[in-house]
């Protein structure tokens, strides 16, 4: 009812809040509107205007005809005939107390355990100034209590959250330290295994090298023994076999000319030294010269020229030095 809104305004509530509370509670009465204001007093949109609020209030405050005078059925504005009375309150049949709305009746039922309520056409007198002050004081006390409870709850929540945060931080720190410890332990174990594997590998390589050395030494000793045996057998065979002097049929002579390039030529072993001298002369060299060997040192005499190369020990090869007379 519009009178409830005026009552709320007279109690100190802004009109827009009073109208919104009345609309949100579907005009259930003063107490539900006060309860709604208590519940939503700190909402962010508490002061936002409701659409078509004024029209709804007007329709409620004057639900009868919109014009003065009698209506078609002969009723005058505001007239209530028999049987048209509407409920103005709720009455407790157990104690006969009147209540403005269902919220008040419900609170009475909770306090007294009374269960029998019915609608009553008896109107409850408007709140006196003293009652308005009491209601407002009660509302303020409830708001203050609610705010204090909320602040205490927020304080408790902050403490609880801080404890949780600290505990979580400690657990995270411990978990991190444990992970680092496990990581270091695993790294140490891995390094230890790696060193052991290196040691085993080096030991295997060293053993293999030693085995290879021994094998090579054994092969050398065996080869040496075979060589010695073969040499001994060859010596024995050579000693047992009769010596046969090899016969050479050719003599390869290198003739060194003074101031010129040496001449190499092969002669039959039976050729005389005179044939060598003729060969030298035929190749355009001096007509008179001497022939000698460097080792052993020997200069051939005229009577040597009629001897064969084999007789002069110039077979199978020799170096002759050409000298001038």
41 vs 165, which has greater pLDDT? 165
* Residue 67 binned pLDDT confidence (cut-offs 50, 70, 90): very low
* 130 and 255 assigned to the same domain: no
Give the CATH number of the domain where residue 283 resides.
Answer: 3.10.20.90
Peptide bond into 104 cis (omega under 30): no
Number of domains in the chain: 2
321 phi, psi to nearest 5 deg: -105, 130
* Residue 66 binned pLDDT confidence (cut-offs 50, 70, 90): very low
* Residue 208 binned pLDDT confidence (cut-offs 50, 70, 90): very high
Which tokens is 44 given? 């962010």
Task: Identify whether 15 is part of a domain.
Answer: yes
Task: Identify whether 71 is part of a domain.
Answer: no
285 vs 113, which has greater pLDDT? 113
For range 76-95, the mean pLDDT: 65
For range 14-26, the mean pLDDT: 88
Residue 241 has pLDDT above 80, yes or no: no
122 phi, psi to nearest 5 deg: -75, 125
- Please give the helix or strand (H or E) that residue 111 lies within, else none: helix 102-112
| The pLDDT value given to residue 207 | 94
Give the gyration radius of the chain's Cα atoms: 71
Which tokens is 130 given? 């003293």
61 vs 94, which has greater pLDDT? 94
Residue 190 has pLDDT above 90, yes or no: yes
Task: Identify whether 40 is part of a domain.
Answer: yes
Domain boundary among 96, 123, 146: 146
Task: Identify whether 243 is part of a domain.
Answer: no
Of 112-121, 186-195, 272-281, 301-310, the least confident:
112-121
pTM: 0.31
Task: Identify whether 140 is part of a domain.
Answer: yes
Q: What is d(CA 118, CA 127) in angstroms, rounded to the nearest whole number?
A: 22
Task: Identify whether 191 is part of a domain.
Answer: no
| The pLDDT value given to residue 123 | 67
| The pLDDT value given to residue 70 | 46
For range 271-297, the mean pLDDT: 86
For range 303-323, the mean pLDDT: 90
Residue 54 has pLDDT above 50, yes or no: no
Task: Identify whether 134 is part of a domain.
Answer: yes
* Domain of residue 295, residue span: 250-323
Convert the pLDDT of each residue in 102-111 to its tens digit. 777 887 888 8
Residue 300 has pLDDT above 80, yes or no: yes
Task: Identify whether 216 is part of a domain.
Answer: no
Cα dihedral: 31, 32, 36, 38 (round 10): 30
Domain boundary among 100, 120, 146: 146
* Residue 306 binned pLDDT confidence (cut-offs 50, 70, 90): very high
Instruction: List 317's β-bridge partners, or say none.
Output: 252
Q: What is d(CA 32, CA 49) in angstroms, rounded to the nearest whole number?
A: 19
* Average of per-residue pLDDT values in the chain: 81
Nearest one of 270, 263, 268 to 291, comparing CA atoms: 263
Domain boundary among 130, 146, 162: 146
| The pLDDT value given to residue 242 | 63
For range 261-276, the mean pLDDT: 92
* 9 and 133 assigned to the same domain: yes
């Amino acid at each position: 009812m519009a009178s409830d809104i005026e009552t709320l305004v007279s109690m100190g509530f802004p009109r827009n809040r009073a109208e919104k509370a009345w609309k949100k509670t579907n005009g259930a009465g003063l107490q539900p509107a006060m309860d709604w204001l208590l519940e939503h007093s700190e909402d962010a949109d508490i002061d936002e205007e409701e659409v078509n609020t004024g029209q709804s209030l007007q329709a409620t405050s004057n639900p009868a005809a919109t014009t003065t005078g009698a209506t078609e059925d002969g009723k005058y504005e505001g007239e209530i005939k028999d049987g048209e009375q509407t409920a103005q309150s709720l009455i407790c049949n157990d104690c006969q107390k009147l209540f403005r709305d269902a919220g008040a009746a419900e609170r009475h039922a909770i306090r007294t355990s009374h269960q029998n309520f019915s609608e009553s056409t008896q109107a409850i007198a408007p709140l006196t100034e003293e009652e308005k002050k009491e209601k407002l004081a009660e509302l303020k006390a409830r708001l203050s209590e609610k705010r204090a409870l909320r602040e205490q709850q927020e304080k408790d929540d902050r403490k609880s959250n801080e404890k949780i945060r600290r505990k979580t931080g400690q657990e995270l720190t411990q978990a991190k330290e444990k992970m680092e410890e496990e990581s270091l332990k695993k790294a140490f174990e891995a390094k230890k295994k790696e060193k052991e594997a290196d040691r085993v590998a080096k030991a295997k390589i060293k053993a293999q090298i030693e085995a290879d050395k021994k094998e090579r030494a054994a092969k050398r000793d065996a080869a040496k023994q075979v060589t010695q045996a073969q040499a001994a057998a060859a010596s024995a065979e050579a000693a047992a076999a009769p010596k046969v002097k090899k016969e050479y049929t050719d003599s390869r002579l290198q003739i060194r000319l003074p101031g010129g390039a040496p001449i190499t030529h092969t002669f039959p072993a039976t050729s005389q030294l005179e044939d060598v001298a003729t060969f030298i002369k035929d190749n355009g060299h001096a007509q008179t010269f001497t022939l000698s060997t460097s080792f052993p040192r020997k200069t051939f005499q005229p009577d040597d020229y009629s001897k064969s190369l084999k007789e002069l020990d110039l077979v199978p090869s020799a170096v002759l030095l050409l000298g001038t007379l």
